[in-house]
């Protein structure tokens, strides 16, 4: 901005020096025309258009530009260049912001606070719900408008690729069949393993178990190797955390960890019924895939983990500290899994 404005001011100075004693309305008009012309030895056309943008700005914008340049040029000259009366300029400086402007400033502070506390994870819908929970009435469109003004947005991740569904010729049934619903906790659990990259130990692996009623991660395990024991540890942790429930349907893909003898024996011992996705079809385990995607975009992709232990601490903080206890979910009425689960316990 400064270079274009400086050019305009320089032209106006030249006009003033060359005009001598000539003053008045005609000189002012001539100065305005000259200020809009190409300056500093023949600037290109796009520079002139840039200058026109400043000269045709609103009064509020012109006052801000003049205020910014007062350290380099006289106010009288700047007001002449922009066609703003000095009395008008000084009056604008003293004018108090309106009630609406003050409300918008406070509103944006609240949006920024919620967005920051969610570590940039919340978009306009969740921020609007959080504001509503605080008793602040505002539509999603208004929140979105102010977020765009502040140039902030929810973190976006890549979608997983669609895979073709192959014919199922095995004896492993799909009891869920994409009916991802449970009337109460510990009826239907989903589980899966995802990859976490570390600088020192390379690929590491997180196995998690998701309750379809509460959307809570009821159990998880983290390891340097992707084995059947990893899947078993996550399931055992879920079983312990939830008070040793019986007759749970546990749904997974057909990975070797979930079709292993060790995993089959564990589910039988716990009194669980196994269910499997069709081969190569992640949509049969969509909510679990969704959690993995959320974990990646809200935590993993934002950080670089030096080693296994560093990543484990970060995963614990995200799952137990944020996801289960504080992150609101649209599927359960925009409350956290912990709050939603407490309604059943109470």
Instruction: Check whether 333 has a pLDDT greater than 80.
Output: yes
Residue 264 dihedral angles phi and psi, to the nearest 5°: -60, -45
pLDDT of residue 216: 97
Give the tens place of pLDDT for each residue, 49-71. 545 556 677 787 888 888 888 88
pTM of the model: 0.60
Q: Are 173 and 275 in contact (CB under 8 A)?
A: yes
pLDDT of residue 55: 65
Residue 334 dihedral angles phi and psi, to the nearest 5°: 60, 45
- Confidence tier at 118 by pLDDT (50, 70, 90): confident
d(CA 111, CA 122): 10
Q: Where are the domains of the chain?
A: 2-94, 99-149, 188-345
pLDDT of residue 181: 92
Q: Are 299 and 327 in contact (CB under 8 A)?
A: no
Q: Are 216 and 338 in contact (CB under 8 A)?
A: yes
Would you give the distance in Å from CA 29 to the centre of its chain? 50
Q: Are 69 and 78 in contact (CB under 8 A)?
A: yes
Instruction: Check whether 3 has a pLDDT greater than 90.
Output: no
Instruction: Check whether 164 has a pLDDT greater than 70.
Output: no
Rounded average pLDDT over 203-207: 96
What are the beta bridge partners of residue 196? 204
pLDDT of residue 21: 46
Give the tens place of pLDDT for each residue, 255-303. 999 999 999 999 999 999 999 998 888 899 999 999 999 999 999 999 9
- Percentage of the residues of the chain whose pLDDT score is greater than 70: 78
Which range, of 39-43, 175-179, 186-190, averages the lowest pLDDT?
39-43
Q: What is the mean pLDDT of the chain?
A: 83
Rounded average pLDDT over 211-231: 96
Instruction: Check whether 44 has a pLDDT greater than 60.
Output: no
pLDDT of residue 8: 56
Pick the more confident residue, 325 or 155. Answer: 325
Which range, of 12-21, 51-60, 117-126, 326-335, averages the lowest pLDDT?
12-21
Give the tens place of pLDDT for each residue, 10-25. 545 554 554 444 455 5
d(CA 278, CA 254): 8
d(CA 58, CA 6): 19
The domain covering 188-345 belongs, at the CATH homologous superfamily level, to Ribonuclease H-like superfamily/Ribonuclease H (3.30.420.10)
Residue 251's alpha-carbon distances to 187, 191, 231, 236, in angstroms, are 11, 6, 12, 15
- Percentage of the residues of the chain whose pLDDT score is greater than 90: 48
Q: 287: closest CA among 139, 179, 204? A: 179
pLDDT of residue 219: 97
Q: 93: closest CA among 68, 73, 74, 71? A: 68
Instruction: Check whether 165 has a pLDDT greater than 70.
Output: no
């Amino acid at each position: 901005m400064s270079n274009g404005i400086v050019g305009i001011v320089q032209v106006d100075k030249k006009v003033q020096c060359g005009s001598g004693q000539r003053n008045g309305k005609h000189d002012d008009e001539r100065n305005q025309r000259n200020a809009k012309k190409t300056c500093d030895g023949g600037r290109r056309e796009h520079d002139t258009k840039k200058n026109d943008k400043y000269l045709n700005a609103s009064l509020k914008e012109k006052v801000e530009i003049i205020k910014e340049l007062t350290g380099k040029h006289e106010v009288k000259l700047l007001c002449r260049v922009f066609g703003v009366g000095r009395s008008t300029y000084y009056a604008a400086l003293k004018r108090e912001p309106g009630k609406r402007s003050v409300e918008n400033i406070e509103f944006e502070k609240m949006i920024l606070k919620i967005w920051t506390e969610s570590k940039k994870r919340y978009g306009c819908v969740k921020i609007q719900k959080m504001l509503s929970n605080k008793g602040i009435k505002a539509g999603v469109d208004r929140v979105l408008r102010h977020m765009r003004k502040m140039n902030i947005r929810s973190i976006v991740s890549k979608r997983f690729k669609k895979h073709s569904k192959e014919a199922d010729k095995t004896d492993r049934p799909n009891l869920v069949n994409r009916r991802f619903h449970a009337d109460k906790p510990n009826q239907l659990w989903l589980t899966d393993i995802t990859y976490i990259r570390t600088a020192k130990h390379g690929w590491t692996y997180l196995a998690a178990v998701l309750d379809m009623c509460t959307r809570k991660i009821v159990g998880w395990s983290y390891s340097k190797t992707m084995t059947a024991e990893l899947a078993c540890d996550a399931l055992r942790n879920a079983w312990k955390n939830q008070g040793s429930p019986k007759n749970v349907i546990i749904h997974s893909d057909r990975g070797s960890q979930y079709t292993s003898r060790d995993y089959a024996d564990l589910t039988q011992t716990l009194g669980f019924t196994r269910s499997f996705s069709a081969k190569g079809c992640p949509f049969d385990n969509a909510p679990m895939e969704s959690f993995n995607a959320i974990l990646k975009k809200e935590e993993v992709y934002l950080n670089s983990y030096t080693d296994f232990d560093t990543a484990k601490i970060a995963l614990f903080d995200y799952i137990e500290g944020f996801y289960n206890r504080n992150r609101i979910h649209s599927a359960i009425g925009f409350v956290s899994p912990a709050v939603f689960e407490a309604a059943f316990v109470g």
